[in-house]
Amino acid sequence: MDTDRENGGSLKILLVGGRLDWSVPTTHALGLAEGLIQRGHEIQMVCRGGVFLPRFREIGAEVFQYPSSWLARRRLMLFLQDFDPAVVHATGGLGAQKIALRLSKALGRPMVHTVHSWLGGERSARATRHAAAVIVVNQDLREHLVGELGISKDKIRVIPYGIEIPEVVREAWSPRGIPVIGTVGRLDKGRRLDDFLEAAGLLRKKIGDVVFTVLGEGPDERRLRSVCKTMDLEGHLTFAAPPADIDAVYRAFDVLMLVSDWGGAGLHMLEGLARGIPTIATGGGEILSLLGEEGICTLVRPGDPEALAEEGERLLADPQRARNQVVVGVEHVRRHFPMRAMLDRVEDLHKSLTQTPVT
């Protein structure tokens, strides 16, 4: 527990997530919940189920699945009223903010909404405007919410991700005999995963013995599997649902390759860097805002699978370059994205809202 802040008083906090499958909002919520519990706060969570649900219970959070029937929702409200949270915090994910807004109004408690990537529609923006406070993970998102969606800048707090550095980091990196290049994240359209598949095809032709892994679930999986078959990648590329064990996911990779058109991959990049995985990423605004300097990971322009393949080949052929990147990456995350700093700022925000009347 962080004893430096222990005297500030503990809170009851209701976290609200979407489906707790492998995604940026889920892994972020897990770190947040664990850190707040270690600081003495009492956490309950409402979600749509998912593979990570037992993991939240293991760290000490009481978790409820949001029901579809009116009677079951009424019963849930009785439990939540008895818990009497000080704050309702939507941690992101499909449906999280809608559920959180409903619970916030019913409980008469302020709502916080964490935004991880661009909000795509007026419905999402409308629910966010009703929040007492909005957390964004970088300055670009703040400008998006204020300039394009008209959300009051006074409500918005920029709180970067917090990453826990594992005790054992694979800084003495060397690839397996048959290296594994992987990507991770929700399988949605717009994530540029076709570029990953095309890069995989090019790399297989160039270096032969290499395995590719797509860890994730989502609505675009069936189409991506069909694309894989047309590219003669069967037997060389596998799709799998990630386990609810973040360390195990990154241990499966020799190289992490992240591709996305519209953000949402930044936390995965930081998690990989913190675990000593050489990383190649498309250099969109979110990724650039998290890096801030060269040499931390290998950047390529979006929409260029040939460049992805070339950089993958270069990293595998030059282990010393990859090891240098690992050392710089671990230190960058340690210096700029400490878990303690994120928890301090979220904790301060929660406490400030308990002193402000709900409007």
What is the mean pLDDT of the segment spanning 83-99? 91
Specify the pLDDT at position 188. 82
Task: Indicate if the pLDDT at residue 45 is higher than 70.
Answer: yes
Specify the pLDDT at position 1. 41
Q: How confident is the model at residue 153 (pLDDT cuts 50, 70, 90)?
A: very high
Q: How confident is the model at residue 4 (pLDDT cuts 50, 70, 90)?
A: very low
Q: Is the pTM of this model over 0.95?
A: no
- How much is the mean pLDDT over the chain? 88
Task: Indicate if the pLDDT at residue 315 is higher than 50.
Answer: yes
d(CA 352, CA 357): 10
Specify the pLDDT at position 172. 67
Specify the pLDDT at position 169. 66
Specify the pLDDT at position 79. 97
- Which strand ranges, in their side-by-side order, compose the sheet holding 279-282? 237-240, 211-215, 180-184, 255-258, 279-282, 298-300
Q: How confident is the model at residue 265 (pLDDT cuts 50, 70, 90)?
A: confident
Element spanning 24, H or E: helix 24-38
Domains of the chain plus CATH, in order, are 3-162+338-353 (3.40.50.2000), 180-336 (3.40.50.2000)
Specify the pLDDT at position 359. 54
Greater model confidence, 161 or 286: 161
Report which of 296, 307, 243, 302 is spatially closest to residue 270, judged by C-alpha positions: 296
Greater model confidence, 189 or 223: 223
Task: Indicate if the pLDDT at residue 189 is higher than 70.
Answer: yes
- Model pLDDT for residues 283-312, shown as the tens digit of each residue: 766 676 777 666 788 888 888 999 999 999
**Residue 302: exposure state from Cβ atoms within 10 A (0-12, 13-18, ≥19):** middle
What is the mean pLDDT of the segment spanning 150-179? 84
φ, ψ of residue 48 in degrees (nearest 5): -100, 20
Q: How confident is the model at residue 7 (pLDDT cuts 50, 70, 90)?
A: very low
Q: How confident is the model at residue 9 (pLDDT cuts 50, 70, 90)?
A: confident
Specify the pLDDT at position 294. 67
Using alpha carbons only, what angle is made at residue 62 by residues 57 and 63, rounded to the nearest 5 degrees?
A: 80
Specify the pLDDT at position 263. 59
